[in-house]
Amino acid sequence: MHAPIVEGIRRELGEEVTVRVATLDEPDHGLTDEVLAETDVMTWWGHAAHDSVSDAIVEKVHARVLDGMGIVVLHSGHYSKIFRRLMGTTCSLIWRSDPGGERELVWTVSPSHPIAAGVPQPIVIPHQEMYGEFFDIPQPDELVFISSFAGGEVFRGGCCFTRGAGRVFYFSPGDQEYPVYHQAAVQRVIANAVAWCGGVSRPIGPVAGRHGNRARDWYLG
Amino acid sequence: MHAPIVEGIRRELGEEVTVRVATLDEPDHGLTDEVLAETDVMTWWGHAAHDSVSDAIVEKVHARVLDGMGIVVLHSGHYSKIFRRLMGTTCSLIWRSDPGGERELVWTVSPSHPIAAGVPQPIVIPHQEMYGEFFDIPQPDELVFISSFAGGEVFRGGCCFTRGAGRVFYFSPGDQEYPVYHQAAVQRVIANAVAWCGGVSRPIGPVAGRHGNRARDWYLG
Amino acid sequence: MHAPIVEGIRRELGEEVTVRVATLDEPDHGLTDEVLAETDVMTWWGHAAHDSVSDAIVEKVHARVLDGMGIVVLHSGHYSKIFRRLMGTTCSLIWRSDPGGERELVWTVSPSHPIAAGVPQPIVIPHQEMYGEFFDIPQPDELVFISSFAGGEVFRGGCCFTRGAGRVFYFSPGDQEYPVYHQAAVQRVIANAVAWCGGVSRPIGPVAGRHGNRARDWYLG
Amino acid sequence: MHAPIVEGIRRELGEEVTVRVATLDEPDHGLTDEVLAETDVMTWWGHAAHDSVSDAIVEKVHARVLDGMGIVVLHSGHYSKIFRRLMGTTCSLIWRSDPGGERELVWTVSPSHPIAAGVPQPIVIPHQEMYGEFFDIPQPDELVFISSFAGGEVFRGGCCFTRGAGRVFYFSPGDQEYPVYHQAAVQRVIANAVAWCGGVSRPIGPVAGRHGNRARDWYLG
C-alpha cells in the first residue's frame, strides 16, 4: 500500500525529504516519542482497523499536530481516530463499493493553490470506490479539489485545515483495491500536500508558549 | 422567465414579502432610486444582454448591496456586471449547451444552512445546461451546494458571500431553455435565499456611518 | 451567575423560548437524555471545575450538537471539555486577572451579522479579566467581534462555527467577578446568539441519516 | 518612502528576488505591459493621490493579479482603486491622525502562517496613525494579524485573499509620517508577504484558459 506513496513523495520532493514508514503492528505503531519529535509531516492511511489504534498514541499525534507537525490524511483515513479528533465531527459520508468501482474525476477549484501545482484538470481515476456528500467535516479553510463519480455523487475530496500550529490536508482518492496511488497525478498531489503541510512558519515563541498568565505590559520586556 | 420565480417566492414566503418585477427595457431598467431604497432583497437574472445594462445603475445597485440590500444572482447572472463588480473576479467558468441539455444533480454540503431547509438530497434536474469548474470567484464565505452533471463536471452552484452590510447568494440552476424554475425544490432554494439575504441585522449606526475621522475616546460620548 | 443570562434571553426573545437551568451538581449535571433531546440551544458557562464534568455527558452533548443543537459557549467555557471536543484544538489563550480588572472594548467586525443586531460599536465593559491572543481555535467560519483591553491585548471574542448540523458561538465577555452579564448590550449579544444557533434548517433527511452505503442511482427512488 | 521597503525585501529574500520601483509620475506610472508581464509580486502604497491613478492601468494590474501576479497592499493603499476593485467593497475604515500618533500593537492570530514567520508577538510600533473597525472588506480567506491602538480601537491589519489565480495581502502598518517601514519586524512581514504572494502554483493550463465552451468528454482527449 505505502510503496507507491513513498515512491511518489521521493520522486517529487527528492533530497528535501527523508521518508520513513510506520505500521499498525509495530510497538506504538512505530510512532514513538522520538519518531514523532523528528517528523515534520505525517501521511495517514487506515482502513477497517481504526479501532485498533491506541488512544494514547492518537493523543500524542494530536498534540504534535497542534504543535506544528503536518498531517496528510488519505482516503479511508477520514474515519481514523486522529482525523475525527482534529475535526471534532463524525467525518461520516456516503459510499459505494461496486465490483470494479466507478470512474472518479478530481476537479481543481483553487488552481493557484500550491497543492494543485502541476495537477491536470481533471484527474481521471478509472476505477474507484465512491465517497459522497454529506461529508461531515467543518467547512475547510481552503477547498482545493471536488470529485464527481460516474454514479453522479460529488465529494469535497481535497480540503485544507489549520489546527493549532499544524496543517492538515485530507485527500480522498486512493483505495486498497485499485492502483490509484500509482497514478502520477495522485502522487503529485500527495507530494504537494506534504510540502504544503511542512511549510508552516516556526514562529518566535512556539504556540505551546503562547498561553498562560501575563502581567500588564509583559511585551515591553 | 420571472413568473415561476415570483410564484415560488410568493408560495414559500407568503405575506412576509412584496414581490415586484423590473426588466431591462424599462427606464433605469426599472431600478429607480425609490425602488432601490424600498428593496430589501433583489434577484438578478440575465443572459446575453449583460452589456446593455447601464453602468450607472450597476453602481447604484452595488452601493445598495454594500448598504445592506441582499441580492440573489441566478444562473447566467454569474456574468452580469453587478456580480463581477461584487466579486472582483472574472466569474468565468466552463459550459456546454448540448441539445436537450444533460442531467444536473444539486448536492447539499451544508445541511443545516437555512438556504438548504427542506431541500431534497440531491435535487435532480433532468435537463440543464452544464456549468463547470474552474469558476473564477473568491472562495465563498459558505458553500451550500455543489452540482454534478451527466458529463462528469462539477460546479460550486450555491455560494454565500457578505459584501459590506449586504448578503449575496449565487445559485446556478436555471435556464431559459428548460423548466428548471418550475421545480418546487429549486423554487424552495430561491425563496430560502431571499429570506437569508434579507436576514441581516440593522445595526445601531449603519455601515455607511462606520468610517471617517474619530477623536480619541469618541466612543465614550 | 446564570440569573442575568436567563433574564437577558427572556427579555430579548420573550415568548419564543423556554429557558431552563442545569448545574454541575445535579445528577447528569441536569443534562439527561430527555433534557438534551428537548433542547434546541444550550449556553455553557464553566470555570475551574471543567474536569468535574462527566466525559459521558460531554459525549452526549457533543453528539447532540452534531445532530443540530446549538451551543453558546461563554467566557471561561473556552476551556470546557465540550468546546475543546468541538474545536479539536487546545483552546488555550493568554490571560490576566489584576484586581479590579481592566477595560474591555468589544468591536463588531461583521456589522450585518444577526448576532450583531442592535449592538453598540463598541461595547464598553468597564471591568474585566483580560483574554488575549494567541487563542488556539480553528479559524472561525465567521468572526463577529474582536475585543481590545486596556493593557493592549486583542482577542477574537465572538466566533461562529458550524459543526455537523449544529451551530456553535463562542463569546468571551463575562466573568464571575464583574457584573458583565448585567450589561444590556452583552445580554443582547447572548440572546442574538441563541437565536442564531437555533436558526438551523431542519433538512429533509437529518445529518444522522446522511451517511452509509448507497446503491447506484439510490436517489432516483 | 519606498527605500526601507526595498531594503527589507532585499535583506530578507536576497538573491531570490529582483526589486524594481515604479512611481505615479512615470509614464503609465511605470507599469507598462512589459513590466507587468515580468512582475511576480507587486507592492502598492499610495496616499491622497489615489484618484490620479489611471483607470486603464488599474484594469491591467487587476487582470494581472487574476492571472497570477501577487500584490501586497500597504497602509493607505486600502483606498487605492486596485484594492477596491479586487475587494468589491468600499474598503472604508475609521482613522485618527493625532500629532505624534499613538502606539500600535500588531498581534499574530495565525502563528503558523508563513507571513508570521519570525515575527515577534506582538510587534510594538511606537507612533502610528490609527486605523479602526469597521473595515469594509470581504471576510479574509486567512486573518494573520490584528492590531490594537492606544486609543482602544482594533483593526484587521494583516489579511490574505485569493482572487483568480493571484494572491493579495493587505498590511496596515506604515505611514509617511513615522519610521514604521524602518522597523525590522515590519520589513520582515512585508518580505514574508512578498514570498507568500509569489508562492502560487503555475497550474497546467492557466486560469485564463479555464473557461469557455467544452464538448462532452473533452477531458478524455
- B59-82 pLDDT, tens digit each: 999 999 999 999 999 999 999 999
Cβ separation D66–B136 shorter than 8 A: yes
Grid coordinates of B41: 432583497
pLDDT of residue B209: 61
DSSP A121: S
> Closest approach of chain D CAs to the CA of A131, in angstroms?
22
CA angle D62, D144, B169 (to 5 degrees): 55
List, in order, residues 6 or more apart from A85 with CB less than 8 Å away: A58, A62, C88
Confidence of residue B155 (pLDDT cuts 50, 70, 90): very high
Distances (CA, A) of D88 to C111, C115, D137: 17, 24, 8
List, in order, residues 6 or more apart from A169 with CB less than 8 Å away: A70, A71, A72, A73, A115, A158, A159, A160, A161, A193, A196, A197
Whether residue C121 lies within 8 A of chain D, CB to CB, comes out as: yes
Residues of A in contact with B142 (CB under 8 A): 139
pLDDT of residue C116: 94
Cβ separation A107–B147 shorter than 8 A: no
Interface test with A, best of D110, D112, D192 (most A CBs within 10 A): D112
**From C101, which residue of chain A is nearest by alpha-carbon distance?**
A216
**From C97, which residue of chain A is nearest by alpha-carbon distance?**
A213
pLDDT of residue D206: 47
Q: How far apart are CA D144 and CA C94, in angstroms?
A: 17
Residues of chain C with pLDDT under 50: 204-206
Residues of A in contact with C210 (CB under 8 A): 92, 94, 133-134, 136
**In 3-state terms, what secondary structure has residue C56?**
helix
pLDDT in tens, D187-197: 999 999 999 99
Cβ separation C139–D139 shorter than 8 A: no
Residues of C in contact with A151 (CB under 8 A): 216-217
DSSP C68: T
pLDDT in tens, D52-109: 899 999 999 999 999 999 999 999 999 999 999 999 999 999 999 999 999 999 999 9
Ranges of H-type helices in chain C: 2-13, 33-38, 55-66, 81-87, 184-197
According to DSSP, the β-strands at A212-213 and A94-96 are unpaired
Residues of D in contact with A164 (CB under 8 A): 112
DSSP D204: S
pLDDT of residue C202: 61
Residues of D in contact with C133 (CB under 8 A): 107-109, 121, 146
- Give the percent of chain A with pLDDT over 90: 79
Q: How far apart are CA D42 and CA D32, in angstroms?
A: 13
Question: Does the structure show a pLDDT above 60 at B207?
Answer: no
Question: Does the structure show a pLDDT above 70 at A117?
Answer: yes
Question: Does the structure show a pLDDT above 90 at A123?
Answer: yes
> Which residues are bridge partners to C171 per DSSP?
C74, C158
**From A83, which residue of chain C is nearest by alpha-carbon distance?**
C88
List, in order, residues 6 or more apart from C105 with CB less than 8 Å away: B219, C122, C123, C124, C125, C147, C148, C149, D152, D153, D154
Neighbours of chain C (3+ CB pairs under 8 A): A, B, D
Contact B181, B148 (CB under 8 A): no
Considering only CB atoms, D86 lies closest to which of B88, B94, B213, namely B88
Residues of D in contact with C137 (CB under 8 A): none
Mean pLDDT of B173-197: 93
pLDDT of residue A49: 85
Considering only CB atoms, D148 lies closest to which of C111, C142, C148, namely C148
> Closest approach of chain D CAs to the CA of C130, in angstroms?
14
**From C106, which residue of chain B is nearest by alpha-carbon distance?**
B219
Mean pLDDT (chain D) is 92
**CA B200 centroid distance within chain:** 15
What DSSP element (H or E) covers B189? helix B184-197
Residues of B in contact with C150 (CB under 8 A): none
Range 149-188 of B in CB contact (< 8 A) with C: 162, 164-167
Across chain C, where does the E strand assignment appear?
A: 41-45, 70-74, 94-96, 102-108, 123-128, 130-132, 142-149, 154-163, 166-171, 212-213
The residue among D18 and A206 whose pLDDT is bigger is D18
Cβ separation B156–A132 shorter than 8 A: no
Considering only CB atoms, D139 lies closest to which of C132, C134, C142, namely C142
> Which residues are bridge partners to C108 per DSSP?
C145
Q: How far apart are CA D192 and CA D188, in angstroms?
A: 6
Considering only CB atoms, A164 lies closest to which of C90, C152, C215, namely C90
Least confident window among A89-98, B1-10, D74-83: B1-10
pLDDT of residue D46: 86
Question: Does the structure show a pLDDT above 50 at B206?
Answer: no
- Give the percent of chain D with pLDDT over 70: 96
Contact C173, C75 (CB under 8 A): yes
Cβ separation D162–A112 shorter than 8 A: yes
Cβ separation D162–B152 shorter than 8 A: no
Q: How far apart are CA B172 and CA B190, in angstroms?
A: 11
> Closest approach of chain C CAs to the CA of A165, in angstroms?
9
- Provide the edge-to-edge strand list for the sheet that holds D142-149: D41-45, D70-74, D166-171, D154-163, D142-149, D102-108, D123-128
Considering only CB atoms, B161 lies closest to which of D130, D138, D162, namely D138
Residues of C in contact with B116 (CB under 8 A): 201, 203
Cβ separation B107–A148 shorter than 8 A: no
Q: How far apart are CA C21 and CA C3, in angstroms?
A: 9
Mean pLDDT of A142-150: 98
List, in order, residues 6 or more apart from A51 with CB less than 8 Å away: none
Contact B157, B149 (CB under 8 A): no
Whether residue D208 lies within 8 A of chain A, CB to CB, comes out as: no
pLDDT of residue A206: 46
pLDDT of residue C221: 73
> Closest approach of chain A CAs to the CA of D25, in angstroms?
33
pLDDT in tens, A29-86: 999 999 999 999 999 998 878 888 999 999 999 999 999 999 999 999 999 999 999 9
